[in-house]
Amino acid sequence: MHELSLAEGILEIVEQTAAAEKARKVRRIVLEIGELAAVEADALRFCLDTVLTGSVADGAALDIIDVAGRGRCSHCGAEAAMAERHAPCPQCAHYGLEVVAGDRMRVQAIEIE
């Protein structure tokens, strides 16, 4: 389960940000997770519940924003929604969609006090 290592990375980002801002408490963490990022949101929530315990972010609310996958066809240049990698282009049926959005996860915001 790579979500545990992702949760540990998120904790590191949150702790570094809190320390830099001299925050006493992290109230909210906002994550963007792309549809094509291969991250299971429920598993990540579970891991974050464990990893954040006892930290400056213990009890922080977690908001997850889903980012839709999008691709551009290398054959015809059309852009289209992508629900999975290696999908055919809906315009020309060519199997050469290049992912242009929705393949990443990032910490979008951290609310501190």
**Token reading at 22:** 């001299």
DSSP three-state, residue 75: coil
The label of the residue with tokens 């910490």 reads 107
Residue-range domain boundaries for the chain: 3-68+102-112
- Positive/negative CA dihedral, 42, 40, 62, 54: positive
Class of the CATH-defined domain 3-68+102-112: alpha beta
What's the chain's average pLDDT?
95
What number is the average pLDDT over the span 3-31? 97
What number is the average pLDDT over the span 28-55? 97
Residue 71's pLDDT is what?
A: 96
What number is the average pLDDT over the span 45-68? 97
What number is the average pLDDT over the span 44-52? 97
7/21 Cα distance (integer angstroms): 21
How confident is residue 79, by pLDDT bands cut at 50, 70 and 90? very high
Q: Is the pLDDT of residue 1 over 60?
A: no
94/3 Cα distance (integer angstroms): 33
